Chains A and B, each alone.
Chain A
């Protein structure tokens, strides 16, 4: 998940900031006025303004050669804590070094940033709160020395890497107990003719809500004091195609990017969890054309699929929904449960669900709602906001309800939980082709 770092700026080059240009402009203007009016007073006022940028440029921290950055992210759920150490021979210049970590869209400061200065290191801690799940790659921060007046700055070079932050919906682990339908056998595999839950014993796991009593391992339950169930090898396999819609919508690029970041995080989490459970996962992203990763499982496939999810970006041109459905039919066998992650739009021909379902794929639609992202951005009075939000929610529900004839639909508003989708995947009747 680490992207190649951008090239470091050249060291030693001192740049004047806008402050320096402003002071020089006013100082030069005052001196020009003094000469024009043969008046010494503007000259005296202009001398300090004109000299300060030149003097600040000559004060560039010449003893500072370079500094390396080690940083990492921690925290749970929406909480992100970034701790970092800037190593180097900072000397007395440490106080003048600025570390600019770009805060991602939708994140807020949970606490003010903390800095600890030492002669050879600067330690910093940032606390952010993410508004929705996301997979982010923070680029290396810009580290620069600035003079005390803020008139000049000089980039501090050194070894730096980008930082990956992955935050999934908190209830993702509940997807682990879902049985997905098998559509094709693995190469060389002969299917058992036994019906129902049977086969080779695989292990013991926590019981999920609604587990039948005959699945409970009562001896293990008595030993551990909580409900545990048997798990069989045949339960551990299944097939799922995840289709991520990366087409542009009428919501605009910013909202699209945020919703796509949420969708990527959900797909990333679902894929990683189900791959751990030996489920075969296929991934497709659809913008103008369909990009696919075939159905498979295993560690190599995990890397391939997670890279494909991370590389999915919003595209500028929207391809027709029929193209996506035909592409899926070409690359995947019919009957595989297909999870479509797509934002709802007003245009009915935009919806992938009917087209995919007609090609023989049982479809479940997970639609990240734009309402939490757009809340409070309409310029309405605070008293009118709840009413507008309620109307928008009702309109969205009415439109999404029309898709239920093709397959179950999840109106995903609370981005920190995936319980609705796990409830639907848990019920095999919903995954049947009509």
Chain B
């Protein structure tokens, strides 16, 4: 048995599923696959993952995420290089994170509560896209984006290690035994 306290104000994950399906279909539409195939790959991948995580075995686990991730990889690899495809690839990745957070098998989740994790990722995608937009058509586009990603990862690693060092000491695993104080002499 596994149980978690239900958070207030949580939906059933339908809104984020529609959002992920929409962005994946649009990426498929912009991508290199023929017209019905691209959106179909996106829609099928998202639908399979959504159905699996809602009704299938292993709810709340990692395996139901695989079809949507495979669809994302297929769509991203086949998409031609353009500012719009870059943007929608990033947006699809962010929508995927939102969808993961809004898992009905994990009542502890929630898109709003996952904002501290998703917002920096969205910021990184936004910066990378802004830089590539400014330098559109220039050959160093991939190098700049990669450099930005590396800088972001290094910053995060430094931030993570400093925060971990400042974590408070853990509470003892059992209540301390109170010893009887020695009786004062008469």
Contacts and interface: CB of A to CB of B under 8 A. Distances in A.
Interface of A: 7-8, 10-12, 14, 17-19, 21-23, 26, 29-31, 33-35, 37-52, 54-60, 62-63, 65-66, 68, 94-103, 109, 113, 115-117, 122, 124, 126, 146-151, 157-159
A29 B146 CA distance: 14
Contacts of B164: 14, 58, 60
Interface string B73-85: 1011101110001
B122 A44 contact: no
A33 to B, nearest CB: 6
A30 to B, nearest CB: 6
Give the dominant DSSP class at A's interface: mixed
Contacts of B117: 52, 55-56, 59, 147-149, 151
Nearest to A57: B160
B93 A47 contact: yes
A75 to B, nearest CB: 15
Contacts of B97: 48-49, 52, 149
Give the dominant DSSP class at B's interface: helix
Given A44-B93, A48-B122, A51-B152, A10 B142 contact: no
Contacts of B7: 95
Given A18-B62, A22-B66, A103-B1, A68 B128 contact: no
Interface pairs A-B: 5 shortest CB-CB: A11-B170, A66-B171, A48-B93, A115-B5, A8-B173
Contact of B90 (A48, A55, A148): A48
A45 B5 contact: no
A19 B62 contact: yes
B5 A122 contact: yes
B108 A39 contact: no
Contacts of A11: 170-171
Contacts of A17: 62
Contacts of A46: 76, 93
Nearest to B3: A113
